[in-house]
């Protein structure tokens, strides 16, 4: 309905112009070029037709602008003959000129504006944002772990605006300015070559100055943009972790953290402003020279009888128009180089190849039984050590596996490779005989349900978060999943700041409006609703109190029926009833068997069990498990 209203609000011409480009049309996805000009060219390719129209319309606007000035000079000459026969001899010409002024010029200007705003700006901004966002969504999880979310989103938004405005300037300023200068020279040559020659020299000097000054301003602007992104990232990081800031009483520390970035921003901005101040003085010199280069020769030629008063008036008007355009063109040029700097800064994140991609022609995962195999898998995160080391493991269809080991043992690495958050460095991981690296990622993850220790939620409604697991689920299925996760009662009592209640209440960024246990239960309900044949539980009940956990445990065991399950837990009591327990240490499997058999072996698992206090592994066994930063 909204789409029909919007289409009805557009006129046929506007609709035709806007529809020349589909910003969301299919395209051959590839890593964006590393250069700003190359990046812009890739986005201009779908706009070829509208760019040609913009060139013609811009040409028409510039020519009509000059024609208006030229006719002003002709009008002066016509008036010089006196008023007696002025209307009788020139009436029809004046009526024609008036019609052109009132009808043709507004139409051409309006058409040019419509092409630039509706045809180019509207579509190019959406296209750039869409493609940049889509490329970043294809990056692996570790890519986002190694950068600020605020800085990444800021770069996407700034690059979109920079490409759009940069292309707009090329037509609105540079193309029309170039046409105006060229046609001005042609008109002045018609008056007298001696009038055009000084102006041609001035244009060359002005272009040389612009090309010398603008890159300096662009470089300063790029540094300013980098500093601004740094400030954005640090501020967003503080806001996103405001609970930790308050809890540890580190507001002053965060102020200092942001202040150092703002101080750098201040220095970069001061450098930029000094350049702009110097630019204003230089422009004053050029503007004065423009008038002298045209008015002086024009008066000399008039006094020598080689120019009429009207031609002098037209030449002076053209010089004055150029005078007003110089500052504008300089600012537009500086803005253009600023945009190039912004694009270059954004490409630091955008022009990064996706490291985990679907193979050409990859087929969807055909899951029949749910058997998972790790075949001599090694993965050291590019460091040569750490991670997983020659791990072989077969998980039979419908088998429930518990993964145990100290932090850093490789449990999360094992799960991450199954989900293909990274590609294995050696060996392979298969599901029902299919290498996970050879199937489509979306089909792989669609068949795996996972609940993590820190289940973040979208800043959307509870309903949206639940249906994220299964968008086509009915209301009844969603409610049933919430009840099975012991979440239904507290959901009904939710109300957000906008007065939305129950399943329509919004949960805040990453679910911060909910308690940890509430977030965990919604995450469990989401996976229950997804009902995937492979289930991964990574400390799935760690955020729950004992009473709720006891109720959830029964739900989890019912969920596991008929599924292949991998459960990671430090609280060993939660996995004691698994079909098999796999014990890992230093990236290797060191023990495996049932709970009773492992206790009987009196090995590492038995020591863990004996050392537990409240059901957790002893801290003495913990070692950091971290992926290397890029």
Instruction: Flag whether pLDDT at 617 surpasses 60.
Output: no
Confidence category of residue 377, pLDDT binned at 50, 70, 90: very high
Confidence category of residue 70, pLDDT binned at 50, 70, 90: confident
- The predicted structure's pLDDT at residue 294: 80
In a domain, 14, yes or no: no
User: How many independent structural domains does the chain possess?
Assistant: 3
* Count of helix runs (H) and strand runs (E) in the chain: 23, 10
* Rounded average pLDDT over 556-567: 85
- Say if strands 388-395 and 372-379 run parallel, antiparallel, or are unpaired: antiparallel
- The predicted structure's pLDDT at residue 545: 64
- The predicted structure's pLDDT at residue 581: 93
Same domain, 208 and 238: yes
CATH of the domain at 379: 3.40.50.300
Same domain, 522 and 603: no
CA angle 505, 507, 511 (to 5 degrees): 165
Same domain, 326 and 469: no
* Rounded average pLDDT over 337-362: 86
In a domain, 554, yes or no: yes
Same domain, 300 and 284: yes
pLDDT 10s digits, 390-416: 999 999 999 999 999 888 888 888 999
Name which residue leads in pLDDT, 18 or 80.
Answer: 18
- The predicted structure's pLDDT at residue 281: 82
Domain extent, residue 484, equals 461-526
- Say if strands 400-404 and 564-568 run parallel, antiparallel, or are unpaired: parallel
Looking at 526, 558, 576, the residue that finishes a domain is: 526
Q: What is the share, in percent, of the chain residues with pLDDT greater than 70?
A: 93
Buried-exposed string 353-387: b where 16+ CB fall within 10 A, e elsewhere? ebebebeeeeeebebeebbbbbeebebbbeeeebb
Instruction: Flag whether pLDDT at 315 surpasses 90.
Output: no
- The predicted structure's pLDDT at residue 541: 66
Same domain, 536 and 516: no
- The predicted structure's pLDDT at residue 549: 67
* Rounded average pLDDT over 420-432: 92
- The predicted structure's pLDDT at residue 86: 78
Name which residue leads in pLDDT, 426 or 315.
Answer: 426
In a domain, 1, yes or no: no
- The predicted structure's pLDDT at residue 150: 75
- The predicted structure's pLDDT at residue 120: 92
Same domain, 426 and 334: no
| pTM as predicted | 0.74
Same domain, 126 and 86: yes
In a domain, 453, yes or no: no
Q: Please name the residue that has the structure tokens 């906008």.
A: 498
In a domain, 268, yes or no: yes
* Rounded average pLDDT over 329-349: 84
Looking at 350, 379, 412, the residue that finishes a domain is: 350
Tokens of 336: 């253009």
Please state, in angstroms and rounded to a whole number, the distance separating the CA atoms of residues 527 and 450: 7
Same domain, 207 and 326: yes
Same domain, 58 and 156: yes
Looking at 471, 504, 526, the residue that finishes a domain is: 526
In a domain, 21, yes or no: no
Closest to 419 measured CA to CA, from 386, 457, 446: 446
Same domain, 177 and 56: yes
Same domain, 190 and 317: yes
CA atoms 152, 157, 158, 163: torsion sign: positive
pLDDT 10s digits, 475-510: 999 999 999 888 899 999 988 888 899 999 998 877
CATH of the domain at 326: 1.20.1560.10
In a domain, 456, yes or no: no
Tokens of 519: 């977030």
- The predicted structure's pLDDT at residue 10: 60
Instruction: Flag whether pLDDT at 216 surpasses 50.
Output: yes
Average pLDDT, the chain: 84
Instruction: Flag whether pLDDT at 235 surpasses 80.
Output: yes
Same domain, 209 and 239: yes
pLDDT 10s digits, 140-160: 888 887 887 778 888 899 899
- Say if strands 580-585 and 588-593 run parallel, antiparallel, or are unpaired: antiparallel
In a domain, 452, yes or no: no
- The predicted structure's pLDDT at residue 615: 44
pLDDT 10s digits, 255-299: 888 888 899 899 988 888 888 788 778 888 887 887 788 888 888
């Amino acid at each position: 309905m909204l789409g029909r209203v919007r289409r009805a609000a557009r006129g046929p011409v506007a609709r035709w112009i806007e529809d020349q480009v589909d910003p969301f049309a299919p395209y051959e996805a590839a890593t964006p070029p590393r250069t700003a000009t190359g990046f812009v060219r890739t986005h201009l390719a779908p706009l070829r037709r509208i760019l040609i129209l913009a060139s013609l319309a811009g040409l028409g606007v510039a020519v009509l602008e000059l024609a208006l000035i030229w006719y002003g000079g002709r009008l002066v000459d016509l008036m010089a003959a006196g008023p007696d026969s002025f209307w009788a001899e020139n009436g029809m010409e004046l009526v024609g000129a008036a019609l052109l002024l009132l009808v043709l010029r507004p139409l051409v200007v309006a058409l040019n504006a419509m092409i630039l705003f509706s045809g180019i700006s509207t579509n190019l901004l959406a296209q750039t944002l869409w493609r940049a966002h889509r490329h970043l969504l294809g990056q692996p999880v570790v890519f986002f772990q190694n950068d600020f979310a605020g800085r990444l989103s800021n770069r996407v938004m700034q690059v979109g605006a920079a490409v759009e405005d940069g292309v707009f300037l090329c037509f609105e300023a540079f193309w029309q300015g170039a046409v105006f200068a060229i046609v001005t020279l042609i008109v002045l040559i018609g008056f007298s070559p001696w009038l055009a020659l000084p102006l041609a020299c001035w244009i060359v000097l002005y272009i040389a100055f612009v090309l010398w000054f603008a890159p300096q301003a662009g470089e300063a602007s790029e540094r300013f943009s980098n500093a601004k992104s740094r400030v954005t990232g640090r501020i967003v990081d503080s806001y996103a972790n405001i609970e930790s800031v308050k809890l540890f009483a580190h507001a002053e520390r965060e102020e200092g953290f942001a202040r150092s970035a703002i101080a750098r921003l201040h220095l970069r901005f001061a450098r930029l402003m000094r350049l702009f101040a110097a630019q204003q003085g230089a422009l004053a010199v050029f503007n004065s020279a423009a008038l002298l280069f045209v008015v002086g020769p024009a008066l000399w030629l008039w006094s020598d009888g080689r120019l009429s008063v009207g031609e002098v008036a037209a030449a002076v008007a053209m010089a004055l128009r150029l005078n007003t355009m110089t500052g504008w063109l300089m600012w537009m040029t500086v803005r253009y180089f600023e945009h190039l700097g912004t694009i270059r800064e954004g490409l630091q994140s955008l022009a990064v190849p996706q490291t985990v991609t679907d193979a050409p022609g990859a087929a969807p995962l055909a899951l029949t039984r749910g058997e998972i195999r790790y075949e001599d898998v090694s993965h050291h995160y590019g460091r040569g050590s750490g991670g997983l080391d020659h791990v072989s493991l077969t998980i039979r269809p419908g088998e429930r596996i518990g993964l145990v080991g100290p932090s850093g043992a490789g449990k999360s690495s094992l799960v991450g490779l199954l989900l293909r958050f990274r590609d294995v460095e050696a060996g392979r991981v298969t599901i029902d005989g299919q290498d996970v690296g050879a199937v489509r990622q979306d089909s792989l993850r669609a068949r795996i349900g996972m609940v993590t220790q820190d289940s973040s939620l979208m800043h959307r409604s509870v309903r949206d978060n639940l249906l994220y697991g299964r968008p086509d689920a009915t209301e009844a299925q969603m409610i049933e999943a919430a009840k099975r996760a012991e979440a239904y009662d507290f959901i009904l009592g939710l109300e957000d700041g906008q007065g939305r209640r129950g399943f329509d209440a919004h949960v805040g960024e990453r679910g911060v409006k909910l308690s940890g246990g509430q977030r965990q239960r919604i995450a469990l309900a989401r996976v229950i609703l997804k009902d995937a044949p492979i289930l991964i539980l990574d400390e799935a009940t760690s955020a729950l109190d004992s009473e709720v956990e006891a109720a959830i445990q029964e739900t989890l065991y019912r969920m596991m029926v008929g599924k292949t399950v991998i459960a990671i837990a430090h609280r060993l009591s939660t996995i004691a009833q698994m079909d098999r327990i796999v014990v890992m240490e230093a990236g290797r499997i060191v023990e495996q068997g049932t709970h009773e058999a492992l206790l009987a072996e009196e090995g590492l698992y038995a020591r863990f069990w004996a050392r537990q206090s409240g059901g957790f592994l002893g801290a003495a066994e913990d070692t950091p498990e971290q992926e290397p930063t890029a």
